Chains A and B, each alone.
Chain A
Amino acid sequence: MKLVVAIIKPFKLDEVRQALTAIGVHGMTVTEVKGYGRQKGHTEIYRGAEYVVNFLPKLRIEIAVNSDIAEKAVEVITTHARTGQIGDGKIFVTPIDHARRIRTGETDSDAL
């Protein structure tokens, strides 16, 4: 099992969700976050005064998937979250040691 964490642009969420559903990903957790990478924020100008906004609004998507479709999920997110502009985000994949569905007590793959 793998945990795929993706930081994406907020307006790409629907597109990414639909594509993930199409490859059999049943659920996801979405969190509103702020941050920056190489983009280093952006500059806003108010009456001649420049302000650098370091922390830009992003969405953090977390999906837990079986190892065999983890790579496919990463591909799908990459394709559908991409605009080609700076600030499209990043994807991190980590192993999951154990999973459990709280309602039924099912474990690991059955719990996903």
Chain B
Amino acid sequence: MGTCASRCLRASAALAAAGAIAFATPALAAAPSTIEPADTAWMIVATALVLMMTIPGLALFYSGMVRKKNVLATMAQSLAAVMLISILWVAFGYSLAFVGDGTWIGSLDRAFLAGMGMDSVHPGAKTIPEALFMLYQMTFAIITVALVAGSVADRMRFSAYLLFGIAWFIFVYVPLAHWIWGGGFLAQAGVVDFAGGLVVHLSAGTGGLVAALVMGRRQGYGSENLSPFDLSLAVVGTGLLWVGWFGFNGGSALGANAHAVMAILTTHLAACAGAITWGALEWSTRRKPSVLGMISGAVAGLGTITPASGFVAPWHGLVIGALAGIICYWACTSLKHRFNYDDSLDVFGVHGVGGLTGTLLAGVFATAAIGGTSGLIEGNPKQLVAQLYGVAVTLVWSGGVTWGLLKLVSAFVPLRVSREHELEGLDISQHGEALQ
């Protein structure tokens, strides 16, 4: 054994040395690299954290809130987003969103990663490999598409979700990402969105709301018991989302630096404040603070701080989180019932309203010393106007295009399962599997 192990070790050391020489030669010949090991290491971790937010984070968060007969189908929607969007992102999504300086859309120069070498860097993230920047942004596209599914949980046909998800990614996510993060017209207008208040949360929330309106309410909504299957899953999912959000917001600093730490600190405080506020509101109005309420408040705080996280001071995170708890609570418990729409898992109430609120609050609280942008409090009302502009464009674009895409998809595949299949549950009807 010992002899074999030492022989194997010697052989692999020799191979490694040969490999190092082979790889080192072209690298030495290339121009001096600006890639920083620490930034690269942190962004690898951040990328993994954000991917973890979809599977298992969102998959558990969502599936814990549906009924037992729809748990697997709900998880399948998160899984499908990872599989589909990853490939589409590499094929053309990344290039159209982040490459080129078009006002409306990027270019296809990096389609299928053409021309992306080991030493390539993106102009917006010069200290990490471009492949890592591309991967990191991929995880945002994935979770955004997966988020939308929460609004139509319990009733959307899986094939329709796949078609809609692909189309929504192409026509809603990619353009918005380019307009705000890729140097498009919203970026040129001064709209700031640190980690996706508009690109991720408001776009997904609005898309989800429109999808819920187009597809109609679930069978038995308002009359039958649609209570969650297992909130303990949702709590675990929230925990994974919460930690993952450190990569989501902290990683948006694109480096292992103090800016990332401030964003993480702000994010954590906002989540705590959101959870406390939502729980306290339930305690005062309904005599008991529910677990679903506390985790809803945490996610509301996280979604709301997202656009502001790199622009505001830590104590602003507390204020923004507390406001998120109040406003999203109102949206989920009052607004929704007043207008009687069935946004199954409150994607609009939590993410849409949270993303909208946080985007505007970024325009209020932005602190030049933190993120280089001044908001209303520092005497720059123009930033709030820019944020309002960004919100309006996102609402109109996501809402309008989502509506059109659903109509288009429904011409090929019915959006909704049959009444019988909905009553039977989507696990059996869509996937041929069931929890016992």
Contacts and interface: CB of A to CB of B under 8 A. Distances in A.
Interface of A: 44-49, 51-53
Contacts of B336: 47-48
**What class of interface size applies to chain B in its complex with A?**
10 to 19
B91 interface: no
13 contacts: A45-B290, A46-B228, A46-B292, A47-B296, A47-B332, A47-B346, A48-B333, A48-B334, A48-B336, A49-B222, A49-B226, A51-B226, A53-B227
Interface of B: 222, 225-228, 286, 290, 292-293, 296, 332-334, 336-337, 346, 349
Contacts of A53: 225, 227
Q: Is the interface of B mostly helix, strand, loop or mixed?
A: helix
Nearest to B330: A48
A46 B337 contact: no
Q: Is the interface of A mostly helix, strand, loop or mixed?
A: strand
Nearest to B332: A47
A110 B23 CA distance: 88
Q: Which of A46, A51, A53 has the most CB of B within 10 A?
A: A46
Nearest to B288: A45
B227 A46 contact: yes
A45 B286 contact: yes
B283 to A, nearest CB: 12
A51 B286 CA distance: 14
Given A45-B290, A46-B290, A46-B292, A51 B334 contact: no
Q: Which of A44, A47, A48, A49 has the most CB of B within 10 A?
A: A47
A47 B293 contact: yes
Contact of A51 (B227, B296, B337, B346): B227
Given A45-B286, A45-B290, A46-B290, A51 B225 contact: yes
Contacts of B286: 45
Nearest to A54: B225
Contacts of A52: 225
A47 B228 CA distance: 11
Contacts of B337: 48-49
Given A45-B290, A47-B332, A48-B337, 19 more contacts: A44-B227, A45-B286, A46-B227, A46-B228, A46-B290, A47-B296, A47-B336, A47-B346, A48-B333, A48-B334, A48-B336, A49-B222, A49-B226, A51-B225, A51-B226, A51-B227, A52-B225, A53-B225, A53-B227
A52 B227 CA distance: 10
A105 B108 CA distance: 85
A13 to B, nearest CB: 23
Nearest to A52: B225
A6 B177 CA distance: 64
Contacts of B225: 51-53
Contacts of B227: 44, 46, 51, 53
A48 B332 contact: yes
Contacts of B296: 47
Nearest to B65: A46
A16 B7 CA distance: 69
A47 B346 CA distance: 9
Contacts of A49: 222, 226, 337
Contacts of A44: 227
Nearest to B342: A49
Nearest to B343: A47
A48 B290 CA distance: 11
Nearest to B282: A45
B209 to A, nearest CB: 15
A51 B334 CA distance: 16
Nearest to A45: B286
A51 B228 CA distance: 11
A111 B182 CA distance: 83
Contacts of A45: 286, 290
A47 B227 CA distance: 10
A45 B292 CA distance: 10
